[in-house]
Amino acid sequence: MSLARLLRREASLAWGRGGGPLVALGFYAGAATLLPLAIGPEAGRLAAVAPGAAWVTLALASLLCLDRLFERDFEDGALDLLLLSPAPLELVCAVKCLGQWLATAAPLAVAAPVAAVALGAESRLAPLILVSALIGGLAFVFLGGIGAALSLGARRGGLLTAVIVLPLYVPPVIFGGGAIAAFASGLPWLPGFALLAAYAASAVALGPLAMAAACRNALS
């Protein structure tokens, strides 16, 4: 299977599996709706927490689409065929994560500035929220892929994936939320944005190695 065909397959399966990103988007919308009910409708208070809340919700919504990233192929034997394919398993894992990012993380990133502005954030923050959410989404997907691969064959693998992945999601939430908060306050925001980009690049570079090793272990 060529890498381009694998990318199309992963994106189509992500879209067709239980509504694809619609479940994550619905969760995102529900969380954004509940937040004013929890902290009150005051515009100033909502505007202060809107960017951070958008980031935390983005991280949690990203978890909803990870449980079947490798489990489906593990159960039907497709993962064995992918292991025997000419392409290195590390590259296959990277393509699978990229397909997941295109199908689910990118729509969530588009929803992030909409939710933040709806909660009272300034509209001038929307471009930075979108770009940082796209970059952070890469980190979420590739780190989540590590958790999904490590939980292959385990009972309640979705819960195990969340336990493994959530601590790894803390740095991008801090860096992304900090960059947006600094930009909103007129402070230097590039350091936080650069740290977010570096963390995402590290996840993209190292994540497939860990995923491939975990998949080989599960198949052995």
Can you give the pLDDT at residue 158? 66
Task: Give pLDDT, residue 3.
Answer: 73
pLDDT at position 35: 75
- Using alpha carbons only, what angle is made at residue 169 by residues 49 and 50, rounded to the nearest 5 degrees? 10
pTM of the model: 0.87
| Averaged pLDDT in 10-residue chunks for the chain of 220 residues | 74 64 78 76 74 81 77 77 83 88 86 83 88 93 90 71 87 91 89 95 94 86
At 156 the pLDDT is 63
Listed in sequence order, the DSSP H helices in 104-189 are 106-118, 126-150, 157-185
User: Tell me, what's the pLDDT at 73?
Assistant: 77
- Domain residue limits at 207: 3-219
Please report the pLDDT score of residue 16 as a whole number. Answer: 62
CA dist list (Å): 160 to 75, 147, 152, 168? 17, 8, 10, 14
Contact 94, 204 (CB under 8 A): yes
Angle between helices 89-100 and 126-150 (to 10 degrees): 140
**Number of domains observed in the structure of the chain:** 1
